[in-house]
Structure 1
Amino acid sequence: MRNPINNILTGIAISDAITMMSYIPFAIHFYIQHGLERTPAKYTFEWTWFLALHFNLSVTTHMISIWLGVCMSIVRYIYIKSMGIGKINIDQAKSVILVVMVFLISILFCIPNYYITKVRITAGSDNVYMLENLRLGEKDMPWIEALAAWIFILLGKIGPCILITISGSLLLYTLHVSQERTKALKGARVEERMRTHRRTTIMLLAIICMFIVAELPQSILLLIGIFKENFFKVEYALLGDTIDILALINNATNFIMYCAMSRQFRDILFEMTCKYLHNGEDASYSHVKAVQTKTSHVHV
């Protein structure tokens, strides 16, 4: 990956892949294999701890993905903005550091959420384990639960939505200004370059819009739950599966758009797939890649 945007896309793809891989055993065990009944075979001690791990992993990767989305829109804005002065302020090394910092800081902010996740045995049951019920929205809500909730709402939902909306708007405006500036220039090379940048920017804006559509409704619901007692136990619990499905659709669609947007991203993915299928024999891949390099004109 020789491009700052591609580095950020790789970080988002890794985060989304971790999320989806965690959902596979979760869905098989808790929905397909055992259905909806609360049985000892379904909620063993080990599987309940896996549920806790899945919950915390989903929260962490979600925060990583949305903040990388914010970084991606800002980096693209800086790139388009700097085209007129012939200087790019975000290079490859800085983008790698940025991705690593987002991963580490997101994990740091999720520590309160890890702390409040506990496993308990259900009273009066035959070895049925469950996650400890949180008292979100209740009058006696512990401060650590309130802290975890506010961090997730402000830093994992509302804050990124606001920033990604602002940066997306600036990106649209800057793209319009760049197009007006390009009209004064002549040459097929300049026009082709602007078409490529415009196509890439439009796809990035589509990803930004998907983030907002997927995250903003949940942000509003979480905010209501902080102030309305029993909202999480009654209303919000009924929407849990719908929210999960929406997040998975967002992850899958984003991955498809990454492949459509970046030739380098497709090349790396294809190379990894060929190495896995052919046990390291890259002859067929090298031939296909050479053909793709000659025929493809999609660059980021």
Structure 2
Amino acid sequence: MSGNGTDPSSLDVAYCVPSGKVFQGVYTQVHGYIALVICLLGSAANSVNIAVLSRKEMASSTNTILTGLAVADLLVMLDYIPFALHLYTGIGIAYNKNSYGWAVFVYFHSIFSQTFHTISIWLTITLAIWRFIAIKFPQKNRTLCNQKNTNIAIGVAYAVCPILCLPIYFAMNIQELNLSANENETISELDVMNSTTSDVTGERAYAIQMTENKDLLTAIFWIYSVFIKLIPCVVLSILSVLLILKMKSSDRRRQKLLKKSAITTNEGEKARLNDDGGKRGGGGRTDRTTRMLVALLGLFLATELPQALFGLLTAIAPHLFSICYYAFGEVMDLMALVGSAVNFVLYCSMSRQFRQTFTRLARKVLPLPRPNGEPLVPLKA
């Protein structure tokens, strides 16, 4: 692709060969089992998130967005479980991993997982924008971030993201492979997504191959790296900084009010200060919600920014895709899964309301100890 006559394969060697292939060969032996554990725990955690956040007493615009986020993350993990079993473990070894049916599933997985992960990304941005409006423009919060607008924003994310991912639909195709002795050695060099071969004798084998249309492939790399990954990371980085600055400003103001309240002897002034603190959105509770969101954004950036930079590198030098992407693709998948799985821990550690609602809900369906010492039996709903 270069205009100076340089052989792209020589550039591949400079970047990802042979260390990339060596790393992939070692890591893929354990990736499936690690991913399965994360997906199973994450699916359970996101199911709990949905159950808790959708409770009537938890109703708020923020929690509605978090519920939509949990649904997207849950679907990504449920989809990844059979994919990991199929490609990375020996659990389903009796099945032909290069059958047409498995090729169709991998094609579906590639589209489905990317679409709902993109929905998760843009809901995270929506959450950050909503929170920024809440603390920066509290007088407009009920108008701009009401339940109706929140539902519209979630609906737009679920409707537009599949369209944004539309080029991916046309970037892959299912092709029949001839698994001769010689070609078994070179299948992994192709742009094949389900390239795990099995002992196929006299049976047709199929795999997902990337399109040979270089312009379409380059466009997809740019859409993936810039619009789906990099722009959200930049936006969330800016919003995170603004939220942190606003929290620090609120802390300084609160400290000044407390000092002023401590030295004043005027009871009316004390009441006015207390009333002012209440009008500012619940004081500590508002700050806890904002801190939880900042932690959520930090987790998002930690898992998504490396993928964005890697995608940008691939967009700039597409010839690295077939070598570098497949060498580190499983690691990027794992980072995305971790980011989707740990939200439950974050909510429990930083939200008292979430913990209390979760405890009440758990006591209704599980034989947990009752505060008054009654027998350990599930309560009726």
The alignment's TM-score, normalised by the length of structure 2, stands at 0.64
Contact 2:133 2:141 (C-alpha < 8 Å) held by counterparts: no
- Distance across 2 between alignment mates of 1:68 and 1:270: 28
Is 1:194 the counterpart of 2:271 in the alignment?
A: no
Structure 2 counterpart of 1:230: 319
Is 1:175 the counterpart of 2:247 in the alignment?
A: yes
Q: Deviations over 1:84-129 (max 9, x none)?
A: x485331111111111101111011111111222111113454111
Flag the 1:87–1:247 CA change in 2: closer, same or farther, 3 A: closer
Residue 322 of structure 2 aligns to which amino acid in structure 1?
K
Contact 1:70 1:163 (C-alpha < 8 Å) held by counterparts: yes
Structure 1 spans left out of the alignment, 5+ residues: 278-282, 287-300
- Secondary structure (helix, strand or coil) at the match of 1:73 reads helix
- Distance across 1 between alignment mates of 2:162 and 2:232: 16
* Displacement after TM superposition at 1:271 (Å): 5.1
> How many residue pairs end up in the alignment?
274
- Distance across 2 between alignment mates of 1:273 and 1:233: 51
- Distance across 1 between alignment mates of 2:169 and 2:247: 41
* Displacement after TM superposition at 1:268 (Å): 7.7
- Distance across 2 between alignment mates of 1:165 and 1:81: 17
Match for residue 94 of structure 1 among 149, 152, 157: 149
What is the percent sequence identity of the aligned residues?
Answer: 28
Structure 2 counterpart of 1:204: 293
Residue 187 of structure 1 aligns to which amino acid in structure 2?
N
- Distance across 2 between alignment mates of 1:270 and 1:61: 30
Q: CA RMSD in A?
A: 3.1
Is 1:239 the counterpart of 2:316 in the alignment?
A: no
Structure 1 counterpart of 2:121: 66
Flag the 1:86–1:61 CA change in 2: closer, same or farther, 3 A: closer
Structure 1 counterpart of 2:206: 129
Is 1:19 the counterpart of 2:76 in the alignment?
A: yes
* Displacement after TM superposition at 1:172 (Å): 1.4
Contact 2:224 2:311 (C-alpha < 8 Å) held by counterparts: no
* Displacement after TM superposition at 1:275 (Å): 7.1
Flag the 1:193–1:169 CA change in 2: closer, same or farther, 3 A: same
- Distance across 2 between alignment mates of 1:100 and 1:30: 33
Structure 2 counterpart of 1:161: 233
Structure 2 counterpart of 1:298: none
- Distance across 1 between alignment mates of 2:84 and 2:311: 24
- Secondary structure (helix, strand or coil) at the match of 2:282 reads helix
Match for residue 103 of structure 2 among 48, 54, 57: 48
Structure 2 counterpart of 1:284: 379
Structure 2 spans left out of the alignment, 5+ residues: 1-53, 181-202, 259-272, 368-377
Contact 1:40 1:127 (C-alpha < 8 Å) held by counterparts: no
Structure 2 counterpart of 1:148: 220
266-275 or 244-253: which moved more?
A: 266-275
- Secondary structure (helix, strand or coil) at the match of 2:207 reads strand
Larger radius of gyration: 2
- Distance across 2 between alignment mates of 1:269 and 1:109: 39
Flag the 1:19–1:87 CA change in 2: closer, same or farther, 3 A: closer
Contact 1:60 1:107 (C-alpha < 8 Å) held by counterparts: yes
- Secondary structure (helix, strand or coil) at the match of 1:187 reads helix
Flag the 1:144–1:274 CA change in 2: closer, same or farther, 3 A: farther
Q: Deviations over 1:146-173 (max 9, x none)?
A: 3322222121100100111111111112
- Distance across 1 between alignment mates of 2:164 and 2:120: 14
